[in-house]
Amino acid sequence: MKLRYRYRIYPTDQQKIKLAQLFGCCRVVFNDGLAYCQETYKNGGKYEGINTLSKRLTLAKKTDEKCWLADVSAVPLQQSLRDLHQSFKNFFDSCKGKRKGTKVKPPKFKKRKSKQSARFTDNGFKVNQHNVYLAKIGKLKIVWSRELPVLPSSVTVIKDSADRYFLSMVCEVNPKLLPQTNKTPPLTTGFNNKSCGIDLGIIDFATLSDGEKVKAPKPLKSKLKRLRRLQRNLSRKQKGSKRREVARKKVAKLHARITDIRTDFLHKLSTRLIKDNQLIALEDLNVSGLVKNRKLSRAISDLGWRSFRTMLVAKGEMYGREVRIINRWEATSQTCSCCGFKGGKKELSVREWTCLNCGQIHDRDTNASRQILKVAGGQLDTQNGLQRKFKTTVKVAVSSEASTTPQYKQLSLF
């Protein structure tokens, strides 16, 4: 499987100028290729493919108007055209119905103020012990925050809005399957290994089926006062002035700090859960619909529910764990995890409730996490004879020691 390793680099002033020139050339090549394809389509023609775009780039370097394209490495320029070709291919496959999921939109023109990047492949880079060499850029000082498992197949240099530089390296590695966890299931779930159900919330980021509640750092909420002050200061600066650029960088650095805190928390929590549990169950939340609520949109966006789910699924593939996503229409907050009795819809202000059938007192979030685990485990939670009116389908990432390639299958539980 392919993994991406990201490292911070510190280019010199001269290298920053060369990188800025490289980013600009990659953007120009991409936009010119896209403009040519759009013009061809308007004149009744069809998409001509990557070979035609590459020939046009070679001819453009020999002209007086764009002879400066030869001052940078040709590897990232050709890669920009490959990215454009892949974007068109994904768009055409989506229109023909070959790609499952949401419809892919056609490629758009790149802007100068967006995140800038350039990818080096083949012989365009060389990884050394204390630095990384990029063609026509030089040796870049790098901080090895963690060990690189193998030599990368490609290296992407990135500059974010806070004027920080990174190298993103893609490596081909074999999945490292973790040993099976101890046979200590928190509930009678039908599994011989430890399992965990997770209920995501706003007050507590995650409530586990064993009763543990994990608080989120909520970096945006903690730094909102400072962010408002910096944005107010930015709005008062004249557009195009140097002081406005200084104020913009302060806002961008604070946003980067907020993102780093959130990402660090999500990575540490997801790694701990993957290592401690053999099976993890989550609910398929409609995050895009929930953020439309004006009163809760900022709080939900500050948590990062979707990123957390993506991390769990990816690390489950990597380490040989099962991550199951249950149907979002399961009444996990209404159903008693002990007897399966449905007590009806409850307001968000109700944090504890008593089952009318068995008399068990439940914490709302803990009961929901245990019910999520029971549904994902395939157990019938209707001991009092209630019947389900719909089917629940969960996604399982299956990996075994004999086969290092993860396989996916759909399980219809009811």
Q: What is the pLDDT of residues 257-306, one digit of tens each?
A: 999 999 999 999 999 999 989 899 998 888 888 888 888 899 999 999 99
Asked about 245 being catalytic, the answer comes back as: no
Regarding whether 245 and 113 lie in a shared domain, the answer is: no
For residues 236 and 125, state if they share a domain.
no
Average pLDDT over all residues of the chain: 84
Total tally of structural domains belonging to the chain: 2
**Residues 146 and 258 placed together within one structural domain of the fold:** no
48 belongs to the catalytic site: no
Query: Quick one: 246 and 355 in the same domain?
Result: yes
Candidates 32, 210, 283, 322; catalytic one: 283
Q: What is the rounded distance in angstroms from the CA atom of residue 50 to the CA atom of residue 28? A: 16
Q: Would the pLDDT of 182 be above 90?
A: no
pLDDT band at 103 (very low <50, low <70, confident <90, very high): confident
215 shares its domain with 87: no
Q: Do the domain assignments include residue 185?
A: no
Average of pLDDT values for 302-328? 91
Do 81 and 19 reside in the same domain of the chain? yes
Catalytic residue among 199, 210, 317, 381: 199
Active site residue 276: no
Assess if residue 59 is contained within a domain: yes
Question: Do 190 and 378 touch, CB atoms closer than 8 A?
Answer: yes
Task: Please check whether residue 384 is in contact with residue 405, taking contact to mean a CB–CB distance below 8 angstroms.
Answer: no
Specify the pLDDT at position 193: 57
pLDDT of residue 185 exceeding 70 = no
Residue 183 lies in a domain: no
| 124-180 confidence digits (pLDDT tens) | 999 999 999 999 999 999 999 999 999 999 999 999 989 999 999 999 988 888 887
Statement to judge: residues 142 and 235 lie in one domain: no
What are the start-end ranges of the H helices in 197-241?
219-222, 224-235
If asked whether residues 151 and 258 sit together in one domain, one would say: no
With 0-12 / 13-18 / 19 or more C-beta atoms within 10 angstroms meaning exposed / middle / buried, residue 233 is: middle
58 has a pLDDT exceeding 80: yes
What range defines the domain where residue 67 resides?
Answer: 2-172
Looking at the structure, tell me whether residues 225 and 327 fall in a common domain: yes
User: How many C-beta atoms lie closer than 10 Å to residue 34's C-beta?
Assistant: 19
- Are residues 207 and 286 located together in one domain of the fold? yes
The rounded distance, in Å, linking the Cα atoms of 80 and 121 is: 11
Question: pTM (2 decimals)?
Answer: 0.81
In a domain, 55, yes or no: yes
Claim to verify: residue 336 and residue 289 sit in the same structural domain: yes
Q: Is the pLDDT of residue 205 over 80?
A: yes
- Active-site pick, 32, 322, 330, 365: 365
